[in-house]
Amino acid sequence: MKSLSKTIIITLGVIVGTISGFFYWKFVGCASGTCPITSNPIVSSIYGAVMGGLVFSFFKK
């Protein structure tokens, strides 16, 4: 059961990170279009998902 709760926490982090990455692209983004992460919504969402999964993996239940 311990690994299941850890998996749920990491999955939640990936979901929150994906949404955050998309909203970062939508509202902040990159005006010039030359920014490697924030100029594309897919890349920004993937980056957010990875970062969200990493940050939430630090939390223990």
Domain ranges of the chain: 12-56
Spatial distance between the Cα atoms of 44 and 16, rounded to a whole number of angstroms: 13
What pLDDT tens digit does each residue of the chain (61 aa) get?
668 788 999 999 999 999 999 999 999 988 887 888 888 999 999 999 999 999 999 987 5
Tokens 């929150």 map to which residue? 16
Q: How many CB atoms lie within 10 A of CB 11?
A: 13
Q: Report the alpha-carbon distance of residue 49 to residue 5 in Å, rounded.
A: 18
